[in-house]
Structure 1
């Protein structure tokens, strides 16, 4: 659980300019061609999808969290809920960890955002046609899911070949604010994708 908190903290630190994390933890370079897409798609940082109240709560975790040993019995914070805390600041922090509150201004916005794919539905060619886009690798699979307002459900009819969940992608399309739930996780945003491309590839369009 603490690994998840550290990842969330990294996202907040990078609020001014989101950096996709690659497997060794280093920031990935942003292709120069991204600027060419500004007229059509607004490039969005993940932090922009978090309401200000949730963001402030995540920036102020309880001090006792840092004293827990990663992997210890006390590390299973899934057993806790906001109702377990009399301190309002601690309760707000835990509410933010599972928040599905969206930013209304992000509804019906054409965006371009980097992230990692969690496959949900494949076509006959084993291309991924529905997936969750998440801000860090391992989310929903090797690590607990991010808050729903940090998960985007993406539908992409042409499908995309995903060789590894550690491979970041650029996704662009129309973002809407509606909740999607399944057995993997809950997403507070949906995106009807018009293009999905490997993060490392040069944009030739």
Structure 2
């Protein structure tokens, strides 16, 4: 159920992002800022993480907290006919445009999804918070149409699209907490996954194998450049 707590968490996350950004700007050129997770905590095993390649440096405010996945301890065998891709492979130069009315975005909760004590003003503020987070998404980069229809496997962090208890759709993103705790990366760095199983918990690291579609999707959390269908989801360790 979506309630005041969700809105408060979003507001708090944005506040953490602003503070982290301020620290980074103040210390830039003097010291290297500590590696932080989506909640602003210092990651002790930071040696397992590396920053995203430099061509994302001007892709928006999320650049301050974007980090690659740790190196996996084990890698599941790749099935025949499946290509292994990274988020870098999804990048293409250009500009992304997708105009969809707010109430038609996937994952948008209905009035019944909110707690009974939530007021109309609370609901309005919740949707404004979601809109504010999306407004920080950079629209740089296009999608690679030549990848459409290919069977691929890609690893990333899970971010459930909706706010119900039994969500089966989630976003696969390259950084901790993207689209919820920190602003979304560009659309071509997000994959919409339609799973038959329950969606992983937010922040879970997973391998996803499926048929890639260069088919943009608009969600309440972010605009998305790709979809994965007919998927298998495995833990990333």
- TM-score category by the smaller chain? 0.5 to 0.7
Of 179, 192, 200, the residue aligned with 2:216 is 179
Residue in structure 1 matched with residue 78 of structure 2 by the alignment: 37
Structure 2 gaps of 5+ residues are 1-17, 25-32, 36-49, 57-64, 96-133
State whether residues 127 and 161 of structure 1, in contact with CA within 8 Å, keep that contact through their aligned partners in structure 2. no
Q: How far is 1:193 from its partner?
A: 4.0
Aligned to 1:146: 185
**CA distance in 1 between partners of 2:55 and 2:141 (Å):** 21
* Correspondence list, 1:53-64, <5 A: none
Q: Residue 98 and residue 158 in structure 1: after superposition, are their counterparts in 2 closer, same or farther (change >3 A)?
A: same
Q: 2:149: which partner in 1? A: 108
Q: Tell me which of 160, 185, 189 is aligned to 1:119.
A: 160
- Normalised by the size of structure 2, how large is the TM-score? 0.52
Q: Which has the higher strand share?
A: 1
Structure 1 runs (4+) deviating above 4 angstroms are none
What's the TM-score, normalizing by structure 1?
A: 0.59
Name the structure 2 match of 1:19.
Answer: none
- Give the distance between the partners of 1:79 and 1:31, measured in 2 at CA: 36
Match of 1:130 among 159, 166, 169: 169
Would you say 1:50 and 2:87 are equivalent positions?
no
Deviations 1:130-175 (A, max 9, x none): 111111111101111110111111100122442xx23211111000
Q: How many residues align?
A: 147
Partners of 2:81 and 2:186 lie apart in 1 by 28
In structure 2, relative to structure 1, the CA distance for the partners of 1:79 and 1:182 (3 Å cut) is closer
**CA contact 1:118–1:132 (8 Å) conserved in 2:** yes
